[in-house]
Amino acid sequence: MNAIHPIAAPDERRKREARQRAAIRDDPRRGVIILGGGQLAATIASHLKNATHSRYRFVGCLDGAVAGHANGFVIGSLKHLREIAAQRGIDCVIVALSERRGVFPAEDLLFCRTNGIRVEDGVTFYERVSGRIPLAGLNPSSLIFSDGFNRLRVTMICKRFIDVLVSCVGLMVALPVFLVLPIVIRLDSRGPAIFRQERVGQHGRSFRFLKFRTMRWEPRSNGDQRWTNERDARLTRVGRLIRRLRLDELPQLWNVLKGDLCFVGPRPDVPSLRDTLKEGVPYYSLRTAIKPGITGWAQVRYHYVSSVQQGIERHEFDLYYIKNMSLLLDLRILVETFKIVVLGQGAR
């Protein structure tokens, strides 16, 4: 009996490895491994692990140190890249190293590249699979030397022409609402029917933002702004209904016609909220590089912002839009906005 064990154990291990290789061959998803153990690597790993119907099979992270690592996805050291790539059927290596000097495995990555394994930058990969630009681990060079941020004159002219045309048609169609709704709002609660508020526009210039009033009237400083959400206790009875139907946004058609807003762009913040967020949100000022909008990529992919952390997450979506702005992306956002408003599908 004792003489069998040394032979049986390797045989069992070989069978187990054979079963693992067969399972990998049968899995149509692309095997992915991440180089790095910092915040960016953990963010990408978490996204891949939690994504439903993903075409990627996440294997793990490789970093310089393994023992006691804060990133729970780390499964080995960088020096094991070739070995793990061969054993685990890796199709793509994501480079998300927080520090590359002295640890960048150039020869191993070149080996992977020349053997048909795709090598991608972590920021670029995460942007493509999540529709947002990760602020964790993002440095200015990633934005400066990246593709995107194009402002083609023909695109901007077409965008403005569409804004003017649709806002004119919208104001004419919504004329009965503009005649009736202010009366209903005034009967429900005291205060003006139209709520005017200072907002931050393109290049940091302020403008008067118009909405049908949905909250109890509080004659306070125009710049004062508390975090709000769709269940805010300050909402009136009529306010809850018109906010649910998105009728409160109709006066913004006038803002679009004037040129303060466009239909698609980052949501404009009030000055006090801007001052709060720009202290904790990296590259916050980039959102004013383009004209703000009634709806946007962050509005259809995220939700109300009620903390600085959520402001960071919203800004990741806004940066994606600013970088990839196009008429085709605008059309996609408007279709998704229609699904949310009319069909109740998607983000809020």
In the three-class reduction of DSSP (H, G, I as helix; E, B as strand; rest coil), residue 61 is classed as strand
Mean pLDDT of all residues in 177-206: 93
Which two three-digit tokens encode residue 6? 């040394």
* pLDDT given at position 184: 93
For the segment 140-177, what is each residue's pLDDT rounded down to a tens digit?
A: 887 888 788 888 889 999 999 999 999 999 999 999 99
Answer whether residue 286 shows pLDDT above 60. yes
Torsions phi, psi of 118, nearest 5? -75, 140
* pLDDT given at position 65: 65
pLDDT range class, residue 227, cuts 50, 70, 90 = low
Answer whether residue 348 shows pLDDT above 70. no
| Residue closest to 129 by CA, chosen among 213, 53, 220, 26 | 53
pLDDT range class, residue 12, cuts 50, 70, 90 = low
Strand order in the sheet with 30-35: 74-77, 56-63, 30-35, 90-95, 118-121
Answer whether residue 17 shows pLDDT above 80. no
- Between 218 and 338, the higher pLDDT residue: 338
Answer whether residue 27 shows pLDDT above 70. no
* pLDDT given at position 339: 86
pLDDT range class, residue 82, cuts 50, 70, 90 = very high
* pLDDT given at position 1: 45
Answer whether residue 303 shows pLDDT above 90. no
User: Dihedral through CA 131, CA 137, CA 139, CA 144, nearest 10?
Assistant: -20
pLDDT range class, residue 10, cuts 50, 70, 90 = low
The beta strand positions in 89-227, using DSSP E, are 90-95, 118-121, 194-200, 206-212
pLDDT range class, residue 53, cuts 50, 70, 90 = confident
Within the chain, all domains assigned CATH 3.40.50.20 are found at: 5-130
Q: Which residues on neighbouring strands pair with residue 198, listed in sequence order? A: 208
Residues 6+ apart with CB under 8 A from 220: none
User: Dihedral through CA 202, CA 305, CA 278, CA 141, nearest 10?
Assistant: -80
Q: Running DSSP on this structure, what letter comes out for residue 146?
A: S
For the segment 105-141, what is each residue's pLDDT rounded down to a tens digit?
A: 999 999 999 999 999 999 999 999 999 999 887 888 8
CA 254 – CA 265 distance, rounded (Å): 16
Mean pLDDT of all residues in 82-91: 91
Mean pLDDT of all residues in 91-100: 89
Query: How many CB atoms are closer than 10 A to CB 342?
Result: 10
What single string gives the DSSP state of each residue in 265-334? SPPPPPHHHHHHHHHHSTTGGGGGGS--EEE-HHHHHS----SHHHHHHHHHHHHHHHHH--HHHHHHHH
| Residue closest to 100 by CA, chosen among 41, 148, 186 | 41
* pLDDT given at position 5: 47
**Level-2 CATH architecture, domain 5-130:** 3-Layer(aba) Sandwich (3.40)
Outline where 39-152 has alpha helix (H): 39-50, 81-87, 106-114, 122-130, 140-144
